[in-house]
Structure 1
Amino acid sequence: MGCCSGRCTLAFICGMQLVSVLERQVIDFLGYQWAPILTNFLHIIVVILGLFGTIQFRPRYVTGYAAWLVVWMTWNVFIICFYLEVGDLSRDSDLVLTFNLSMHRSWWMENGPGCRVTPITPPPSWAPEDHRYISISGCLMDFQFIEVAHSSLQILLALVGFIYACYVVKLISEEEDSFDFIGGFDSYGYQGPQKTSHLQLQPMYMSK
């Protein structure tokens, strides 16, 4: 019963992770954030494998999923530090999240709640010709805090998923050991009852 409950909970957590990361993937695509797009894609694949392992009793898949969650949490901690500009990190750097392929920022920068975007004409002389120069005002929440909230949610889901993944792997391993002990995986451990035929000899009397 505990194994079933743990597996069901882990499957639910995987579902929550898929929904949240797909929403994040769409936002990152709109903002041309290539590094997060690649990382999100890897996360989606690993979560699907973890969900498969949970449903099909594959502890190796669940173990790989748990190991990836450590990397995923580390990545999201980096994203939080990046947007909060911890240490020498700067969210104005193009190289980190876009591989220096574009000057785009987070999609939430222009599309956050309450944000009003006003084009500035004429643009400054230093502005690239293929980019518009805008002014953003009225945002109810700055874009960096929205990104931090998204990453914090991912860390929370990953932490709970990691705990349940370890729990499920432990329970599945215990069940397999118990099954081995009673000969569940030994094809020769059980032999069906053999049918024996007994022929009762009766004495025969011949009359003369």
Structure 2
Amino acid sequence: MIGYLKGIISHIFTNSCFIDVHGVGYRTYAPASTLDGLTVGKEALLYTYMSVREDAIVLYGFATQDEYDLFMLLIGVNGVGPKVALGILSAGTADSFRLAVHKKDIKGLTKMPGIGKKTAERIVLELQDKIGPVAEDAGNAPVSGSSGASGIIADTLLALTGLGYSEAEALPVIEAEAQHCTTLKALINASLKVLGRRR
């Protein structure tokens, strides 16, 4: 089992990256929050989980131990595989997800990619006592899938989904760039620039 990878980021894609470790490029699938913090040509350390199936061996990487731990809890829930868990982590922050679980927000969880009502109920039932405390400011970081977007963020999201980006892919980027943009046009352009680097 590979515990972590430390190397140079050579490529960044929509939902994965190549990390060059002594000349070997490992494709590592990662949540949006991790990919947003990576820079091509810079060194990075990713905590990894190796999924071994009959037809494939897949690496999943995370910038923090906290995201890794939450990912491991999620894939322990019946009906939640690595791809679904990655989608959940890409749809919002770790603390916003914890908040949704603590509040038993089934409706909000079902709006996340790959989550139906029964799966959301299982997540709440199995994880509410395992996921740990929620940060004091978590309430200010809503789960993306629960339509916390408003104003120019919502308008930008509408524009980018119209261009073919998924909400789970686009919203974390839009929310991050919104801190530096005051107009709709500026936010759309800034978000497209970040998303374009992953293509």
Instruction: Specify the structure having the higher radius of gyration (Cα).
Output: 1
Q: Which has the higher contact order (CA 8 A, sep 6+)?
A: 1
Normalising by structure 2, we get a TM-score of: 0.23
TM-score by length of 1: 0.22
Structure (1/2) with the larger helix percentage? 1
User: Which has the larger strand fraction?
Assistant: 2
